[in-house]
Amino acid sequence: MKARRQRGATLGLVAACVFLVIIVGVGFFFLSKIIGGGREVANATDAGALNVAKHAVRRGAVALAKYGLTDEFGELTEPKNSNVDLVTYNRLVAQALIVGKNAEVEGTPLAKGNANFLAGQVKQVGLELKTNLEAAGTMDADFTDMASRNNTKMWNGSPVNLDGPITAGYMKKDSSTNVYFDPATLSALGWGTLPAPMQNSPLNQKSKSGQVYLAGYKDIVLLGNPNFIMGVPVLPQTKPHLVDHGQFTATAFDANTPPNSFRTNGRALEAKSGNIGGTVACAIVGTIDKDFQAVIPRGYLRVMNGNDATVNNGAPTGVPVSNGDQDIFNNELFNSPGIMQANNAGNPVFTHTGDIPTARAKWKAYIATMGSYPKGSLGSDGVTVNNTTDEASPNYGAGDPVLFAGISGMISNSAFDLRTTGAFYHFADYNDLINLGNSSGDQACIYSMYDDTGTLPAPCITGLDDWTLNFGRNLGGVAGGGATQPGGFTNVEFMKADLLGKIAERKGGKFCATVAAAGKSGLKAWPESSGTVLKPGVPGSAVPYGIGGASKVNYLSVDTTYKYLTQMNGGLNPCNANPIIDEMVKRMQQVEPKVTKAEVIAALDDKTCPLTLANGAGTGKLYLYVDASTKKPKMSASLPWKDTNLSADGPSAAGPDKCDSKYPLNGWAVNTYKGYSGSTGDGNYHENPFTKPNPGSGPSGTDSALWQASSGYNNLLGELKFEQVTEGATFCKPN
């Protein structure tokens, strides 16, 4: 009995143990499902958070057009001219930083104001991007889409959903943005290296070219502004990844800077128990293949030439200009003895080659015999019979036929060159010569007497018209064919043409001509010979205007920007334009760091893009920019994007940025002198059209190349202007 009771008790104990094991096993089964399901929920939440971080770099994008910034930043977005997101936002920050640094160097209030304004515009974009990324629902679908794909079979496939809004975070202060500065750009900005406060930390994260990145979530101090701009750490060359919840912070470092990390709360229903399980996951963005050089890709330089001189002055007087071959001052009045005019009654007798005193004496002797030798009488030699004169008409005065025979050949005979009236080649008749014989006194006139000082003898003025017409001359010469060529007039060319044209004013008794080119014109290229710039004052530089197209009154040539710059280095007073070219190279390296000086020079010297004078809209202007496809500097008359026509905001040209080359004008380019040209004077004049300039040294001209830097606001990085100014002068003593 006792043994049987013991076996029964043992069986009961075994049964109880088996039942307990079953209970524990079932419990462990359900516990493992709960734990495993929780892990599945956590995994799904992690996946959702990672998907949020992955897509966040393209979410909440802000349209540039909304802020009128498409022209300013359109090259920085993907695609171009579209929207700004976390991938491209730091590119805007970098461009604003370049503009700010340029403004700091320039130091003008305008440049500083433009830079601060641009930084403010970038902050506006950043604020909207921040707002969009923080807004409820912006990335909910990114979470749900990925989390719902994860297996939650241990919770009977219950979907994992968001539990509350996604929280934006701000992590990894001082870590890398996705922009870096090339050494060439740093040098162009005046930085040897990126300033330490702007460098990412730790420094072991560098671009593929070995450059440190701009730090994110760190105030950039510039222009005295402690919060000029701030970038976002988006961790280049890094994938989006989970971060420890304890390190996550939702406190922004700046009110306008977008977030870079996100916290998500996931939850799911445990079907058996009806309980809801949840978990938290945090993830930070990464831009594994999206880092960029800090540049202003649409940066450009504006190259301006001054106006055609006719814009400020109208057309030069008398263009086409005068021909000295037909000017009486260059012929009869120039060659000794000039023109002599008798003071006789009636039509004054004048001559260039004749002998008025001898003619007067002979006719005076004859006149003394008049009335003493009637027709048929013998002359003073007792032989010669007066058969040609009587007291009737025609009345030859019945003078001594011997004397008359010696002077009758003077009547209307070109050989004696005794002329009267303005009729072409009209020579003195009998009555004119009788008047000559009855006169006394002559007046010699020669070109050197025609001056602005003293008083000219009356015959030298009153006789001009008759002399000019009789000798077949023109006081102003005659218009020369082919006087001008296309390309317009610089101030120098205008003065040259205007002075030659004003020769015609001599007919009105003006023996001085005042010429002055008002305002500033642009430049054209001077002639060159064997590498020497033939600027006025240099031997061989005098180019007289020749009639018939041998040379042009506007004899300079339209050429390239580089030609105008290099010619500043020539002449009597050269100016070194190389510092200006160096500044242009630095500006282009803020657009594309790999640009070289040789490439900039090649663009400036592009023969297909000559720099003309400005004479209306769209002329006299070129642009230097970097071609987006070739990455090389390019010169063009237009931009692929908009020129806002904003003025350069840097200081006015001074020091090495102001290149002036001064030269003399009289005898060289204006009123060209035979002694300088080696051939003839201007307009085919023997020496030069006028022999006495006032001031005595003659006027001067100055060519200028003026460089004015600009910060890069509205993409304008600088402006190069060419100008020519000339002094006015009065020229007297016609040749």
Identify the weakest region by mean pLDDT among 31-45, 326-340, 421-435, 655-669. Answer: 31-45
Over the stretch 184-213, which tens digit does the pLDDT of each residue have?
Answer: 999 999 999 999 999 998 877 899 889 999
> Per the structure block, which two tokens stand in for 565?
């710059």
Q: Is the pLDDT of residue 266 over 90?
A: no
Over the stretch 548-568, which tens digit does the pLDDT of each residue have?
Answer: 545 788 899 999 999 999 999
What is the structure's pLDDT at 33?
Answer: 47
719 in Cβ contact with 592 (< 8 Å): no
Question: What is the per-residue burial (b if ≥16 Cβ within 10 Å, else e) of 505-532?
Answer: bbeeebbbbebebeebbbbbbbebeeee
Q: Is the pLDDT of residue 399 over 90?
A: no
Angstrom CA distances, 519 to 490, 494, 721, stand at 11, 12, 15
Question: What is the per-residue burial (b if ≥16 Cβ within 10 Å, else e) of 694-713?
Answer: beeebbbbbbbbbbbbbbbb
**Smallest Cα–Cα separation from 37: which of 145, 144, 160, 140?**
160
Over residues 20-49, the mean pLDDT reads: 65
What is the structure's pLDDT at 723?
Answer: 98
What is the structure's pLDDT at 38?
Answer: 54
3-class DSSP state of 338: coil
Instruction: Give the phi and the psi of residue 582 in degrees, each rounded to 5.
Output: -60, -40
Q: Is the pLDDT of residue 473 over 90?
A: no
What mean pLDDT, rounded, does the chain reach?
A: 89
> Per the structure block, which two tokens stand in for 504?
């015609």
Residues in the chain: 735
**Smallest Cα–Cα separation from 159: which of 171, 144, 169?**
144
Identify the weakest region by mean pLDDT among 20-34, 312-326, 447-461, 703-717. Answer: 20-34
**Smallest Cα–Cα separation from 75: which of 295, 302, 231?**
295
Domain extents in the chain: 30-294, 301-320+479-734, 332-470
What is the structure's pLDDT at 697?
Answer: 82
Over residues 429-433, the mean pLDDT reads: 93
- Owner of token pair 């120098």: 492
- Pick the more confident residue, 30 or 466: 466
Angstrom CA distances, 573 to 538, 566, 568, 628, stand at 10, 13, 9, 40
Q: What is the DSSP letter of 612?
A: P
**pLDDT range class, residue 351, cuts 50, 70, 90:** very high
499 in Cβ contact with 590 (< 8 Å): no
Neighbours of 183 (CB within 10 A): 16
Residues in Cβ contact with 554 at an 8 Å cutoff, skipping those fewer than 6 apart: 484, 485, 487, 488, 489, 490, 493, 496, 497
What is the structure's pLDDT at 637?
Answer: 96
Identify the weakest region by mean pLDDT among 302-306, 488-492, 502-506. Answer: 502-506
> Which element (helix H / strand E) includes 179?
strand 176-180
Identify the weakest region by mean pLDDT among 96-105, 271-280, 340-349. Answer: 271-280
> Per the structure block, which two tokens stand in for 200?
């990412």
User: Rounded to the nearest 10 degrees, what angle do helices 578-589 and 597-604 cross at?
Assistant: 110
590 in Cβ contact with 725 (< 8 Å): no
Identify the weakest region by mean pLDDT among 129-143, 393-407, 619-633. Answer: 393-407
CA-CA distance, 720 to 522, in Å (whole number)? Answer: 12
CA-CA distance, 16 to 622, in Å (whole number)? Answer: 100
What is the structure's pLDDT at 36?
Answer: 47
Q: Is the pLDDT of residue 478 over 60?
A: no
Over the stretch 654-702, which tens digit does the pLDDT of each residue have?
Answer: 999 999 999 999 999 999 999 998 888 888 888 888 888 888 888 999 9
What is the structure's pLDDT at 423?
Answer: 96
- Pick the more confident residue, 724 or 26: 724
Identify the weakest region by mean pLDDT among 8-12, 42-46, 456-460. Answer: 8-12
Strands 716-726 and 300-305: parallel
What is the structure's pLDDT at 483?
Answer: 74
pTM: predicted TM-score of the whole model, two decimal places:
0.86
Over residues 31-46, the mean pLDDT reads: 64
CA-CA distance, 508 to 472, in Å (whole number)? Answer: 18
Identify the weakest region by mean pLDDT among 17-26, 610-619, 661-670, 683-692. Answer: 17-26
341 in Cβ contact with 445 (< 8 Å): yes
- Name residue 354's amino acid: G
CA-CA distance, 455 to 349, in Å (whole number)? Answer: 22
**pLDDT range class, residue 109, cuts 50, 70, 90:** very high
What is the structure's pLDDT at 606?
Answer: 98
> Per the structure block, which two tokens stand in for 220?
């950039």
